[in-house]
């Protein structure tokens, strides 16, 4: 079709124009649909090339980055219901006036942010029930007005627009299968209380200036509820949503002091509120299917967490660097442990809670492999981890000044260091008040001296007597002689510091003979004593 034919065919019709700055070799892809009938549109690509007539078409440019005006001709814009363009280097402002039956709209760029010069849109009223509205990875600036869409719904995606500060909506009762405005710059209060049927996916995360979200409750199921990386202030009341589940992320909100939930029967795969300011006791007793990855760490004013029974597998539980006080009860979770979704072992971290005096674990645990870290706490008396028969990788208990004994599990796991320094060894039991610890339950384990950082055991600075030191050394000698492939080559055993020196008789054990065997040609341990 010639340019003259294009102009003549649209003398009584209507046109829609926009600009782009495609480089040589770039492809512009556009798709339109009509509310009814089989009309066809005509495209002038703005580069002097041929004009095409197709509702779903692409054009490859040969010029290098000039600003071009693309014009679509049609009989009537109001008959068009759909416009989708992807990776098309849209330039400037897009005027959608006249598209008054729009129900599907999409302008998004590739991951290279092709549309960084696309800055805004003017819409006109449309009464249609929306299927989707996509504006991800563009450069929308300021507030985006969508108040002309009383039936907005379906899939709403306007994420990754770093200069978008707000979105204005009008009331809609349509169901949203997802609502995404994450990774923008939403500022102050984001009001979506007029959208009464949000469901499934709500993502407003990574808006560092977002202080408050106004919502209207409903009974719809949520599988993703993301508000992490914002600046939400005070308590966030989500009791209006009784079917939250899946992945819930509210981490990295430094002014978030609390979250109020209501009962939900949904299964959780992730619950993450770390690096916020959750204060006092955090109540999660309304979630009978809590599981997966639970992250509560780095809330310096968090003093406790209330749980209810759940049979879901919990492969990660991190409550480190808080102020958990007294006993922390996890006895209602019989499936503590991995594996993680990626196939790795689980991780339980209770470290750096100086007022944590005890942990109640379930009597039996049927979960997968798990490493445990309870360093820099205030554990008193005996710590029982004997139920973790899939203990692997590490057990770190250093700096518990009132810890007297550890009950170890019958585990055949593989243990190694994260780092060689004290506190990151496979077994870090230093700076406690330990006496004799029975390591025989781990006789079948593998201490992986071939790991990049080796495998070491730290029992230093426990004020052990010579009898206790002799007893432990003799146990290690017996265990190693019976499991040479698993226990030979320990890169370091530090049983020195405030511990008494071993001798040949105390407690009826010969610690010197044990050292000679362990450091000999067969076992090849390195041992530090007082």
Q: What confidence tens digit (pLDDT) does each residue in 206-264 have?
A: 999 999 999 999 999 999 999 999 999 999 999 999 999 999 999 999 999 999 999 99
The whole-number pLDDT of residue 109 equals 66
- Average pLDDT on 416-440 reads 92
Give the Cα separation of 478 and 470 in Å (integer): 12
Residue pair 217/195 in contact (Cβ under 8 Å)? The answer is no
Say what the alpha-carbon torsion angle 344, 346, 351, 355 is, to the nearest 10 degrees.
170
The whole-number pLDDT of residue 8 equals 43
CA distances from 521 to 123, 174, 472, 513 (A): 81, 75, 20, 14
Residue pair 151/175 in contact (Cβ under 8 Å)? The answer is no
Q: What percent of the chain has pLDDT over 90?
A: 81
Q: How confident is the model at residue 110 (pLDDT cuts 50, 70, 90)?
A: low
Grouping H, G, I as helix, E, B as strand and the rest as coil, residue 143 is: strand
The whole-number pLDDT of residue 5 equals 44
The whole-number pLDDT of residue 138 equals 87
Is the predicted pLDDT of residue 192 greater than 90, yes or no?
Answer: yes
The whole-number pLDDT of residue 132 equals 96
The whole-number pLDDT of residue 422 equals 77
Between helix 466-482 and helix 511-518 the angle, nearest 10°, is: 40
Is the predicted pLDDT of residue 88 greater than 60, yes or no?
Answer: yes
Q: Specify the pairing of strand 492-494 against strand 346-349.
A: unpaired
Give the Cα separation of 74 and 107 in Å (integer): 20
- Average pLDDT on 105-109 reads 81
pLDDT tens readout for residues 268-293? 999 999 999 999 999 999 999 999 99
CA distances from 201 to 52, 176, 225, 230, 260 (A): 39, 8, 6, 17, 19
The whole-number pLDDT of residue 11 equals 41
pLDDT tens readout for residues 325-338? 999 999 999 999 87
Cis peptide before 522 (omega within 30 of 0): no
pLDDT tens readout for residues 155-174? 999 999 999 999 999 999 99
Q: What percent of the chain has pLDDT over 70?
A: 96
């Amino acid at each position: 079709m010639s340019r003259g034919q294009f102009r003549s065919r649209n003398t009584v019709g209507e046109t829609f124009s926009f600009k782009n700055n495609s480089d040589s070799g770039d492809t512009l892809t556009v798709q339109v649909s009509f509310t009814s009938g089989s009309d066809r549109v005509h495209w002038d690509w703005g580069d002097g090339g041929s004009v095409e007539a197709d509702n779903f078409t692409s054009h490859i440019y040969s010029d290098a980055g000039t600003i071009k005006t693309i014009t679509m001709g049609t009989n009537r814009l109001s008959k068009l219901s759909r416009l989708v363009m992807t990776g098309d280097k849209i330039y400037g402002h897009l005027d959608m006036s006249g598209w008054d039956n729009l129900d599907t709209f999409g302008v998004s760029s590739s991951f290279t942010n092709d549309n960084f010069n696309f800055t805004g849109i003017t819409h006109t009223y449309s009464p249609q029930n929306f299927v989707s509205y996509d504006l991800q990875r563009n450069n929308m600036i300021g507030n985006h007005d969508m108040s002309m869409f009383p039936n907005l719904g379906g899939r709403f995606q306007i994420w990754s627009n770093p200069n978008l500060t707000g979105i204005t909506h009008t009331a809609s009762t349509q169901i949203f299968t997802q609502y995404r405005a994450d990774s923008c710059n939403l500022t102050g209060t984001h009001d979506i209380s007029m959208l009464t049927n949000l469901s499934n996916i709500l993502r407003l995360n990574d808006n560092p200036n977002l202080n408050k979200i106004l919502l209207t409750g409903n009974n719809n199921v949520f599988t993703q509820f993301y508000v992490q990386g914002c600046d939400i202030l005070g308590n966030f009341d989500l009791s209006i949503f009784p079917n939250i589940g899946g992945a819930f992320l509210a981490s990295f909100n430094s002014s978030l002091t609390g979250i109020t939930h209501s009962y939900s029967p949904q299964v959780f795969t992730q619950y993450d509120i770390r690096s916020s300011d959750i204060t006092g006791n955090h109540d999660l007793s309304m979630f009978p299917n809590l599981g997966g990855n639970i992250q509560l760490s780095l809330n310096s004013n968090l003093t406790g967490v209330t749980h209810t029974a759940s049979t879901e597998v919990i492969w990660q539980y991190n409550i480190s660097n808080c102020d958990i006080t007294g006993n922390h009860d996890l006895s209602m979770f019989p499936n503590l442990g991995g594996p993680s979704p990626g196939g790795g072992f689980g991780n339980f971290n209770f470290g750096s809670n100086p007022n944590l005096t005890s942990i109640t674990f379930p009597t039996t645990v049927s979960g997968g492999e798990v490493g445990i870290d309870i360093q820099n706490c205030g554990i008193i008396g005996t710590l029982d981890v004997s139920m973790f028969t899939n203990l692997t990788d590490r057990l770190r208990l250093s700096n518990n000044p009132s810890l007297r004994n550890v009950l170890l599990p019958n585990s055949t796991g593989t243990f190694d260091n994260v780092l060689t320094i004290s506190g990151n060894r496979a077994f870090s039991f230093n700076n406690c008040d330990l006496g004799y610890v029975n390591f025989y339950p781990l006789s079948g384990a593998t201490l992986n001296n071939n790991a990049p950082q080796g495998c070491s055991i730290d029992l230093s600075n426990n004020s052990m007597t010579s009898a206790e030191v002799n007893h432990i050394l003799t146990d290690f000698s017996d265990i190693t002689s019976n499991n040479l492939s698993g226990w030979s080559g320990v890169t370091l055993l530090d049983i020195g510091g405030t511990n008494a020196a071993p001798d040949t008789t105390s407690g009826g054990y010969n610690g010197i003979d044990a050292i000679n065997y362990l450091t000999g040609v067969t076992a090849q341990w390195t041992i530090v004593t007082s």
